[in-house]
Amino acid sequence: MDAMEFFQRSAGMWRSQRTTHHLPFRRSENGGSVITVETLGADDPRIIEICKMHNEDPAQSVGGSFVTWDGAMAWDKEGEDHKGETVFALIPDADNPRNGKLLRERGYAEIVPVAGRFEMDADDALNLITEYETMSVIERFWFANPNLRLRTSAVKRFGGFNTATFCAEARISEPSPAPIADKVSNLLPALTGW
């Protein structure tokens, strides 16, 4: 499997349960979100735009995804939310299409355009390595089965503040006519234990 096939298998709506370990404080925080993933072809205007934003040739991209999320964490303050969207564009290495550049208009840890690396490992897991100005992030995604995706991430901030996160993401298989906001409000209390 290559990274584009991994993104294609990720298409759909997912209910995510998350535990974040705040390592310096030896405490963990639970949360949840609803994530939607839409596969984008290489000719999609959003893929072309993100490539140009990063000064990359759009002809080298094989496509990517449009991802939205809406969630909550147990320690959220009033008015704080975990809601957003981003476009991912994949540019495989010429000599190995299982590795390459992953371009984003919005990063996971900082809300800025960022370019990272993707690598498919021997277990067909997708590994993302992203260096930001103030931190580095390593993420690993893999499928336990077609409808259960698992994710880990480790964030190392300059100065030593670190977090490690584990997410279990279950595909929501039954389509619903309810808007995404309704789905999120119905799912989040169960996900976060509130």
CATH number of the domain within which 120 lies: 2.40.128.20
> 54-113, pLDDT tens digit by residue?
999 999 999 999 999 898 787 777 777 678 888 999 999 999 999 999 999 865 555 678
Closest CA to 14 of 61, 50, 68: 68
Could you tell me the pLDDT band of residue 133, with boundaries at 50, 70 and 90? confident
Least confident of 3-17, 30-44, 170-184: 170-184
**Residue-level pLDDT at 173:** 54
Q: Strand pairing partners for 162? A: 156
When the pLDDT of each residue in the chain is averaged and rounded to a whole number, the result is 85
CA torsion 144-36-89-85 (nearest 10°) is: -130
For residue 128, give Cα distances in angstroms to 3, 35, 45.
10, 18, 24
> 17-69, pLDDT tens digit by residue?
999 998 888 889 999 999 999 999 999 999 999 999 999 999 999 999 999 98
**Residue-level pLDDT at 72:** 76
Query: Rounded CA gap, 63 and 47, in Å?
Result: 6
Query: Rounded CA gap, 18 and 37, in Å?
Result: 18
Report yes or no: 21 and 31 within 8 Å, Cβ to Cβ.
Answer: no
What's the pTM? 0.81
Number of domains the chain contains: 1
Residue 19: domain span: 3-192
For residue 79, give Cα distances in angstroms to 3, 34, 75, 82, 83.
36, 18, 12, 10, 12
